[in-house]
Amino acid sequence: MDYYVYNGKYQKVYISDEILEESHKQNGAEYGIEIINAMMESRNPKHLNKLIESLHHEKLQNRVSATFAIVSLNIQSAIPALKNAISMLDESDYQNQISIKAITEAAIILLDGGVSKVKQLFFNDAKFPTLVKELFLSCYSSSRISFTHADIEFLVDATRPTLKKEASHFS
């Protein structure tokens, strides 16, 4: 299969399954973002271990893409690796413009508890960090997951207040 993905310079590049196979000889923490994005597009579980290695990449954008790629695979066995990756970060990461700790926490909840847990925390837990709640939506938009009926219901319910607010500006 062929994948057209963006590289680190935001240029669209071509990656084939053969290139992905060849990349397995390298440590995932050394991948260019285009390899991680192509692995996400492929949705092939055989890339999971390399994506887990990519969670330790020096570049934030690569770690974020690897996290979303793991969510797109929807493999619960990756949860310990995700937990390990965030255990190395302190609470101050939540203050960063892009918080990998919050992104990974949202990914873990989505993988571990599914949409029912996401809905519970999003709508009913006032103490749950707003940043993580917002990142649930980001997981859906960035991870190319296969949507279930429950996922779509959550997205509609979560965005309804914003849509109503925007619609009132046109009234």
pLDDT in single tens digits along all 171 residues of the chain: 899 999 988 899 999 999 999 999 999 999 999 999 999 999 899 999 999 999 999 999 999 999 989 988 888 899 999 999 999 989 898 888 888 888 898 889 888 988 788 778 777 766 666 766 666 666 666 555 666 777 777 777 777 776 666 656 565
The two tokens of residue 20 are 């992905």
Q: Helix, strand, or coil here: 12?
A: strand
Expressed as residue numbers, the domain containing 93 is: 2-168
The pLDDT, as a whole number, for residue 155 is 73
For the whole prediction, is pTM greater than 0.85? no
- Picking from 8, 114, 16, the residue whose alpha carbon sits closest to that of residue 64 is 8
Count the Cβ atoms, other than its own, within 10 Å of residue 111.
Answer: 21
Biggest distance spanned by C-alpha atoms of the chain: 59
CB atoms within 10 A of CB 38: 27
pLDDT of 50: 96
Name the domain count of the chain: 1
CA distance 137 to 112: 16
Sign of the four-CA dihedral 48, 53, 56, 60: negative
**Nearest to residue 13, comparing CAs of 25, 24, 2, 26?**
2
The contacts of residue 58 (CB under 8 Å, 6+ apart) are 29
